[in-house]
A and B are shown apart, each in its own frame.
Chain A
Amino acid sequence: MLVPIATERASMEDSMRETAAVMAPEGIESAPGGGEGAAGRTRIVGTVGLFDDPQDLVRAAAAVRDAGFRKWDCHTPYPVHGLDRAMGIGSSPIPLICLSAGFVGLGAALLMQWWMSAVDYPVRIGGKPLFSWPAFVPIVFEVFVLFAALATMGSLVHFCRLGRWHSPLHDSGVMAEVTSHRFAVVLEVQDAQYTAERASTVLREAGCRNIRPLVEAEEEGESFL
């Protein structure tokens, strides 16, 4: 259980404005707060700014984008429209993948039906041509949809990095809020622009009243459990 951080949230929120200024830079390990005990060692991997109103989030996202950050993200309980533009996210390649897979399915279905009905096992029925393509259209259509749907699901899993259960958001106690009612901007230490000070300055100037460090548990194999 990695929730002790969350139980200490109240005191952390109060002391956050001070803490953020002295937050450890990349790579340097630290055990935030005293009396951690069971929580084990954690390390700071970024800064989280929390919002209660999606409108504030969109404004802050635009500010972070304009500040030149690259490795950052917003976490929201539902898709907030206008946020893609505020974050400067390009359009998803999934539609192209979906369409291509659909056409692969279309070709495969046509080829399969031609080979099986006209080449490998030709049966002449009622004097009709062996490659009677109009009769093959329904299956061609179904296989088009099947391939397109499977490719869409596959690319969704790929692009959203689904199937990775670990996230520092769990360790920081932020996940439960962003899947419920709050909106977060998360800046990561991997970003070239990132320093704890700069991150919290940008967020504060964008109107964020609730800034916390993003911490990651040290132990190997630790999951959201």
Chain B
Amino acid sequence: MSSAGPALLAPPLVEGPIDFRRIDADVNRPLESFPSARWWGAFAVAGLLLVLFAVAATYTVARGIGTWGNNNPVGWAWDITNFVFWIGIGHAGTLISAILFLLRQRWRTAIARFAEAMTVFAVICALQFPLLHLGRPWLALWMLPVPNHNGIWVNFRSPLLWDVFAVSTYGLVSFLFWYTGLLPDLATVRDRAKHGLRKLIYGILSLGWRGSNRSWSHYEKAYLLFAGLSTPLVLSVHSVVSFDFATSVIPGWHTTVFPPYFVAGAIFSGFAMVATLIVLMRRFFHLEHVVTVNHLDVMNRIVVATSLMVGYAYVIEFFIAWYGGVAYERYVFLNRAFGPYAWAYWTMVTCNVLVPQLLWFARIRRSMLLLYPVVILINVGMWFERFVIIVTSLHRDFLPASWDHFTPTWVDVSLFAGSVGLFLTLVLLFCRFLPTVSLAETKGVLAGARPDRHGAREHGGQHA
């Protein structure tokens, strides 16, 4: 279908007899009808968890981070685990929207919008944790190089500061990318609106988009540029997150494999999360013909591939610990696999390396019922991966006298459960108020939608 390489998924990308108007009607149905009882039920659960988050966050700020289980050697625990977990979730969104776009994988159309939204929401969740870990979040401005009466500047040599720049840039660029993609669809929703207020709100949000081809011409260039900028950006973000660990001198952290290992893990966990949510979304909003079984099949293949990369990283870490011959390094890895947190380590290995191998079977990849437990377990496993990396490396440091065990408090647990609530609340609101599948892009992949494909103006892969 293009000169840029074979596509994983052959057309037709949208199943069944369908035209432009049907796409609009099908995708916009959740926006234009009163939400179902199931939506309200899910929203109530997510809302309650969000309240829990608010309570735990308020308690943390009021009493200080001593309310967490963190102790002397384990200075970073669930807070950073959650931060890395959520940032990683977001990465699949950028991968799907940017990297697959550059690779001309047009099947991404059906899932890109949802995945991009997930990116933005995941970054919002991730940001809560470093902010709370500050203890005094109202001083967050001090992380930026702003002039202050103390006459000092931030330390540009610190990976923690790189993280501030990387994550805030990532959040902003992801939002712009997502919003740019939304513009034409907001205009469609505006023009379908029957109610004046609805027309006003979507009209304002659409920035007066008219579908003019002179605009489309700029729009497509801008979209391509956003994709081009996001691709190195997403790789840099998780690399920088891994620098937080890799540039330290802590055994188990101080390793050069971290940047690619973290990026692969991020994509792995993100795809699992996209699958987790989109399986429910397509079913509840009756979009099985737009997000097809073939889409999930292809996503699951990427999950297997990244699972193998992550598995390779687990093995190579052990090999290097043995091969490097540093006693501390060797101890950390033995302690990981057989020490007090061995259960966490083996949970991680089982969920991330063993269970995903089931996805080699097409029967499992293509059955919503069978693949669902697999992707849920991957979400669990990837949270444990970050927990294992952070806590097992810290809890037994160089001096046995200062060893300690980390046990989470109710505040730790509430903050994590609450951040899931925050995420789900945002996802549910998104499903209710914005088109979950890109209308404009989906129309563009329908049969007969592309005059340049009829032979009259064939220019190969010149256009995406």
Contacts and interface: CB of A to CB of B under 8 A. Distances in A.
Interface of A: 1, 53-55, 57-58, 61, 73-85, 87, 89, 91-92, 94-95, 98, 112-113, 116-117, 120-121, 123, 125, 132, 135-136, 138-139, 141-143, 145-146, 148-150, 152-153, 155-157, 159-167, 169, 175-176, 178-181, 223-225
B199 A152 contact: no
Interface string B390-412: 00000000000000000000000
B208 A79 contact: no
Contacts, number: 220
Given A156-B218, A179-B191, A162 B209 contact: yes
A142 B162 contact: yes
Contacts of B212: 73-75, 160
B213 A84 contact: yes
Interface in B440-459: 440-441, 443-444, 448-452, 454, 456-457
Interface in B10-61: 19-21, 24
Nearest to A162: B207
B451 A58 contact: yes
Interface of chain B, helix or strand or loop or mixed? helix
A79 to B, nearest CB: 4
Contacts of B1: none
Nearest to A126: B157
Nearest to A73: B212
B236 A138 contact: yes
Contacts of A155: 218, 222
Interface string B148-180: 000111111101011001100100110010001
Interface in B182-199: 183-184, 187-188, 190-192, 196, 199
A160 B214 CA distance: 7
Contact of B226 (A123, A149, A166, A181): A149
A121 B156 contact: no
Most buried by A among B24, B215, B226: B215
A121 B157 CA distance: 13
B3 interface: no
A117 B153 contact: yes
B166 A135 contact: no
Contacts of B439: 77-78
A155 B454 CA distance: 33
Tier of interface size on chain B = 35 or more
A135 B207 contact: no
Contact of B156 (A73, A135, A141): A135
A153 B176 contact: yes
B221 A92 contact: yes
Interface of B: 19-21, 24, 145, 151-157, 159, 161-162, 165-166, 169, 172-173, 176, 180, 183-184, 187-188, 190-192, 196, 199-200, 203-204, 207-222, 225-226, 229, 232-233, 236, 240, 243, 439-441, 443-444, 448-452, 454, 456-457, 463
B150 to A, nearest CB: 10
A180 B225 contact: no
B184 A75 contact: no
A79 B229 contact: no
Interface of chain A, helix or strand or loop or mixed? helix
Given A138-B166, A143-B165, A149-B169, 4 more contacts: A57-B451, A89-B213, A143-B169, A145-B169
Given A94-B222, A135-B157, A142-B162, A78 B169 contact: no
Nearest to B462: A81
A57 B448 CA distance: 13
29 contacts: A1-B196, A54-B449, A61-B213, A75-B212, A77-B184, A78-B444, A79-B220, A82-B452, A82-B457, A83-B213, A92-B217, A94-B218, A94-B225, A112-B145, A125-B157, A138-B243, A142-B233, A142-B236, A148-B225, A148-B229, A161-B208, A162-B208, A165-B208, A178-B211, A179-B188, A180-B191, A180-B192, A181-B20, A225-B199
Contact of B443 (A78, A81, A175): A78
B222 A163 contact: no
A82 B236 CA distance: 35
Nearest to B22: A181
Pairs A-B, 5 closest by C-beta atoms: A181-B20, A162-B207, A82-B452, A160-B215, A176-B191
Contacts of A148: 225, 229
Contacts of B219: 79, 156, 160
B20 A224 contact: no
Contact of A180 (B24, B207, B222, B236): B24
A155 B176 CA distance: 13
Contact of B216 (A79, A120, A150): A79
A225 B183 CA distance: 18
A95 B221 contact: yes
Given A121-B151, A148-B229, A164-B208, A80 B213 contact: yes
Contacts of A138: 159, 162, 165-166, 236, 240, 243
